Every structure is written in structure tokens, then in C-alpha cells.
Amino acid sequence: MAAQINPSILSADFARLAEEAKAVDGADWLHVDVMDNHFVPNLTLGVPVVESLARATDTPLDCHLMIEDPDRWAPQYVEAGASSVTFHVEAAAAPVRLAREIRAKGARASMALKPATPIEPYEDLLPELDMLLIMTVEPGFGGQAFLDIMLPKIRRTRELISKHGLELWLQVDGGVSASTIERCAEAGADVFVAGSAVYGAADPAEAVRALRTQAQTATAGASWACDH
Ligand SMILES: O=C(CO)[C@H](O)[C@H](O)COP(=O)(O)O
Ligand SMILES: [Fe+2]
């Protein structure tokens, strides 16, 4: 699969979300960070904003739910128009049931791991998912420094995906920029969230294209991608 770049609107101007979505024309997905001030110490937006944004853009929405009780709330984000919904495993009571419910409602089901959460206990759940998100910062805020100690976890997850022959996308989120994206791609990521690196650029659409080129080039030279 070609590398995908998902600009995070956390770094956009929330008063001009429709225009900010257009500013990254050509992006694969729009990454929408939902924070409830409980699971993370920050508060962003909820279902009504996602509904409006889904009407305002043709770019599919990738909703990253950093909230308590995703079992209750995640299905509502599918109904609001999200094409992919990510819940945190640390917050989910029944991750398999929830992933099945998200898929049954017609969206891609994705599960996120905070930096201190290992992948190994969840190996058997991977076939239930369309995407796995490895956080490369502590969730809660944009503009944080990339945690390169997450690279071995990305590598081990890519090995598990290959071992089971899965079509699972592997997303990284947090501190992804021109100086870190190649290491993520080489380790095995294929979906890249970038907030400040895109919306902080003079030309956000050009930043998306440049990041994609960097990721594609790094992937082409990576050992994990040789048989793809
Ligand atoms: O989930 C997130 C934070 O919890 C954001 O998606 C992420 O931080 C993007 O911002 P940046 O690229 O600036 O790090
Ligand atoms: Fe995110």
C-alpha cells in the first residue's frame, strides 16, 4: 500500500475547519482528535463537530478517540460520518466487540496504543482490526517531540502483521515530521498523522506531498516492504 498522510486538525484553526480541510487538498484522510478531558488532560470536539466536518469535506475522516468509555461513544462517530474510528485499548471494556460494531456500522475499525502499552498481549486481536495506531507521543497535545523509543514497537508490530498475513494498516501519530517520518516508514508504518508539521507549514498541501514522497522513498528501501 502507498504511504498515506493524515493531517491532524488539532493544529488547524478550529474557527475555520472547513477551509482548513480544503488547505490540505490531496491528503488521504483528515485526522480528527477527539479528547474528553478525562482520558487525556485536554478537551477538543465531539459528535456535532464531526457531523458538520463530514458534510464540509470530501476527504474521509479518521477519528482518533482519546476518551473514556469508547464502547459507548465510538459507534456514534461512525453515524456522524467518520470513515475510520480509532479507540484506545486502555479505555475500551470490550475491544473485540467494539471493533466488530464499528465495522458492522460501515467504518474501518482501529485500535490505539499509548507509548507504555505493549503490542504483544493484543496479537490475537489484530485480525479484528483495519488499522493499529502506535502513539509516538503521550496522547493529549500536538507539537510534542517524537519518542524514538517507539521505533522497536513499530518494528515488532510490522513483524506480527507479516506473520499473520494481515492487511492491517499501521499508523503512527505524534511528532511525525520531515525529520522523523523516514524512521517511522523504515520501521514499518504506512499511515502517518502529522499536525504541526502540516498546519505549521507555509503551504500545508505541499507539506503533505513532501511528507508522502519522503515516506514512499523510505518504504521502498525498507526490508519489511520488499515482498509488497
Ligand atoms: O493525537 C494527537 C495528540 O494526542 C495528535 O494527532 C498529534 O499530536 C498530532 O500533532 P503533532 O503532529 O503536532 O504531534
Ligand atoms: Fe491523533
User: Does ligand 1 have an atom closer than 6 angstroms to the CB of 31?
Assistant: yes
Residue pLDDT, tens place only, 159-196? 999 999 999 999 999 999 999 999 999 999 999 999 99
Closest CA to 198 of 2, 29, 15: 29
For residue 216, how far is its CA from the centre of ligand 1 (angstroms)? 21
CA-closest candidate to residue 56, choices 32, 84, 36:
32
For range 150-163, the mean pLDDT: 98
User: Known catalytic residue: 25?
Assistant: no
Catalytic annotation, pick one of 36, 130, 173, 190 = 173
Q: What's the pLDDT score for residue 110? A: 99
**Using alpha carbons only, what angle is made at residue 216 by residues 210 and 218, rounded to the nearest 5 degrees?**
105
pLDDT at 227 over 60: no
Q: What angle do CA 168, 171, 172 make, to 5 degrees?
A: 155
- Give pLDDT, residue 115: 99
Per-residue model confidence as pLDDT tens digits over 38-96: 999 999 999 999 999 999 999 999 999 999 999 999 999 999 999 999 999 999 999 99
Query: In percent, how much of the chain has pLDDT > 90?
Result: 97
CB of 11 shorter than 6 A to ligand 1: yes
CB neighbour list of residue 116: distance below 8 Å, 6 or more residues apart: none
Given a cut of 60, whether residue 132 has pLDDT beyond it is: yes
pLDDT of residue 40: 98
Cell of 204: 500545508
Q: What one-letter code names the amino acid at 25?
A: D
**What does the chain come to in residues?**
228
List Cβ neighbours of 11 (8 Å cut-off, separation of 6 or more).
142, 143, 195, 196, 198, 199, 200
pLDDT value, residue 228? 52
Provide the CA 159 distance to its chain's centre, in angstroms. 19
227 is catalytic: no
| Mean pLDDT, range 11-21, rounded to an integer | 97
* Residue found under cell 456522524: 80
Binding residues for substrate: 8, 64, 140-143, 173-175, 195-196
